[in-house]
Amino acid sequence: MNGLMMHQPLLVSSLLTHAERHHGRQEIVSRRVEGDLHRYTFSDLAARSRQLAQALEALGVQPGTRIATLAWNGYRHLELYYGVSGSGAILHTLNPRLHPDQLEWIVSDAEDTVLFFDLTFLPVIEELAPRLTSVRHFVLMSDRDHLPDPAGPILAYEDLLKAQDGMYDWPEFDEAAASSLCYTSGTTGNPKGVLYSHRSTVLHSFAVALPDSVGLSARDTVLPIVPMFHVNAWGLPYAACMVGAKVVFPGPDLDGGALYDLQETEQVTVSASVPTVWQGQLQFVKRRHLRFTTLRRAVIGGAACPPAMLRELEETHGVTVVHGWGMTETSPFGTASVLKNTHLQAKPEERYAVQGKQGRCVFGMDLKIVDDAGRELAWDGVSAGHLMARGLWVMSHYFGQADNDPLVDGWFPTGDIATIDPDGFMQITDRSKDVIKSGGEWISSIEIENIAMGHPDITTAACIGVRHPKWDERPLLVAVRKRGSDVSAEELRAHFEGKMAKWWIPDGVVFTDSVPMGATGKMLKAPLRERFQDYLIDVGPDAAQLPSSP
């Protein structure tokens, strides 16, 4: 016997309808590519998203058609989030930090038919357009005053909207339909498409909003710094509508000072970005002896949050760090390091140790760790194994690869190595391709980097496994010194003593000006491994080498 309850499909448009009816006067503030600050309400967003849906219809867009965007975080991009998915088409966000050849490959793989782009990307589009053979319309996300002369085939976004009256009813369809598409970073081989559904997107929004994750409410002002062009800005554009939080979009300028100004003037309470962007902000406020006066929670993910950053945000600014882990394949929210009541009486050091982990699951997401043979490992906080995920917003297949089942017994192999403690807090020790295998034992590159970045003279540190005649592989630290610092390799190596097992201490330290970063804010270790793979053989270990015996 079925329950006798209404059946309403979980659709992206229902988030917008809710925001319009119940939070219509709530604000959305955007720093625009055109240079000014734009301000409107959820009511305006809803009205313009309907006009956009009509405009798409006028361009001949059918349900299921892929519509690409190449854009920063801003209100027009948000209208595309709702207008495209709400009308039944699929929003495909492109990462502008990718190489044009990669963009060409992705657009062709997705068969995008319309491409919306911000003014910043006009030169890229002008160069790429002839190669994007599936794209029938290019739309500049601005008004006609900003069109190039001659505009050629490029349309102006505001013209498209002006031509429509907004009298549009969001269609109702199966919640299993696809809503948006995002490609993985493609650090190994070609990027792969992850196709989210309306159902997974709405359920993911609930999870993001929960108190034990981002904890978003109608009393918050959220600044999604994490880009809307990569994994839907961690679902914040949807979760904000779900709860009626004020939204502030930073546009293209992610400089520490620009972000700080926006945070203070708009009284932001929750801000979310990768560690490198947080580092820029912290450096800015430190240099000028400033404080975050309204910020309450700092959501940090995409790469490990260094403990020193966590401590600085908590102790200097009174900001609670929510350290999160996820990936494109998990929509992306997987875990968050929000404390349980058993931690509340703990000393700060113990609390930081828990918060520094990547966190625990909320309902809807599940994790396990397994050994090389697939046997599940204990949740003892020590045993490290391959991290496997499953849940209501975890991918089942890659886009266009229906015949290729990536799951193992119904679990998605994340490619991460992790421990899980008895309270369910997961800690990433490595990406499986980055793990350092010294004499058959594993050394965590992340732990070494965290300690290195805790040194007051170090801004960035990457630890890689390089060839060693006796132990196969040993850790080498590639570090960037703070401006003006002349800290030596010996001093840096001494900083590790007492903080980890002696045989984990890197055999060598190389100082560089910068560490290569990928398109999604992660350190690229492959080029470092290539460059330094024979360092210990050619140069040898540092003079003050400590015994390295696994």
Asked if 416 interacts with ligand ADP (CB under 6 A), we say yes
Strands 221-224 and 246-249, sheet pairing: parallel
Interface pick for ligand ADP out of 235, 332, 391, 506 (rule CB under 6 A): 332
CA 194 to chain centre: 14
Within positions 157 to 186, which residues make up the interface with ligand ADP, using CB under 6 A? 184-185
The DSSP secondary-structure symbol of 524 reads -
Assess whether 437 carries a catalytic annotation: yes
Burial 446-475 (b: 16+ CB within 10 A, else e): bbbbbbbbbbebbbbbbbbbbbbeebebbb
Q: State the alpha helices, DSSP H only, in 253-359.
A: 256-265, 275-287, 307-317, 348-355
- For residue 433, the minimal CB distance to ligand ADP (Å) is 10
> Does position 337 bind ligand ADP by CB under 6 A?
no
- What span, in angstroms and rounded, lies between the C-alpha atoms of 204 and 394? 10
Shortest Å, Cβ 230 to ligand ADP: 6
Q: Residues 6 or more apart from 76 whose CB is under 8 A from it?
A: 116, 141, 157
Work out whether 447 is an interface residue with ligand ADP (CB under 6 A): no
CB of 187 to ligand ADP, least distance (A): 8
Site membership for ligand ADP, residue 94 (CB under 6 A): no
User: Is 497 among the catalytic positions?
Assistant: no
Active site residue: 264, 442, 459, 512, which one? 442
* Least distance from ligand ADP to the Cβ atom of residue 248, Å: 21
Stretch near ligand ADP under the rule CB under 6 A, chosen from 80-88, 302-310, 452-460, 504-512 = 302-310
Question: The tokens of 84 are what?
Answer: 């495209």
**Is 184 labeled as catalytic in the residue annotation?**
yes
Angle (CA) 202 421 194, round 5°: 30
Binding of ligand ADP by 492 (CB under 6 A): no
Amino acid letter at 306?
A: P
Beta-carbon contacts of residue 208 (< 8 Å; ≥ 6 apart)? 214, 216, 234, 235, 236, 238, 239, 333
User: Is 520 one of the catalytic residues?
Assistant: no
CB 43, CB 50: distance < 8 Å:
no
Judged by beta carbon, residue 248 or residue 446, the one nearer ligand ADP is 446
Residue given tokens 């270790």 in the structure block:
525
Binding of residue 428 to ligand ADP (CB under 6 A)? yes
> Which of 303, 336, 420, 451 contacts ligand ADP by CB under 6 A?
303
| Candidate residues 68, 231, 268, 515; the one interacting with ligand ADP per rule CB under 6 A | 231
Residues in the chain: 550
As measured in angstroms, the least distance from the Cβ of 129 to ligand ADP is 27
Shortest approach of ligand ADP to residue 228 CB, angstroms?
A: 12
Decide: is 301 part of the binding site for ligand ADP (CB under 6 A): yes
Contact between 413 and 388 (Cβ < 8 Å): yes
The C-alpha atoms of residue 23 and residue 21 are separated, in whole angstroms, by: 6
In the complex, minimum distance from the CB of residue 354 to ligand ADP, in angstroms, rounded to a whole number: 14
Q: Which residue is nearest to ligand ADP (CB)?
A: 327
DSSP 361-416: PPTTEEEEEE-TT-PBPP-SSS--EEEEEEETTS-SS-TT-TT----BTTBEEEEE
Q: Report if residue 97 touches ligand ADP, rule: CB under 6 A.
A: no
Interactions with ligand ADP, residue window 344-363 (CB under 6 A)? 358
Of residues 412 and 535, the one with the C-beta less far from ligand ADP:
412
- Rank residues 65 and 358 by Cβ distance to ligand ADP and give the closer one: 358
Q: Are the C-beta atoms of 235 and 333 separated by less than 8 Å? A: yes
Catalytic sites, residue numbers: 184, 329, 437, 442
Binding site for ligand ADP (CB under 6 A): 184-185, 230-231, 301-304, 323-328, 332, 358, 414-416, 428, 431, 520
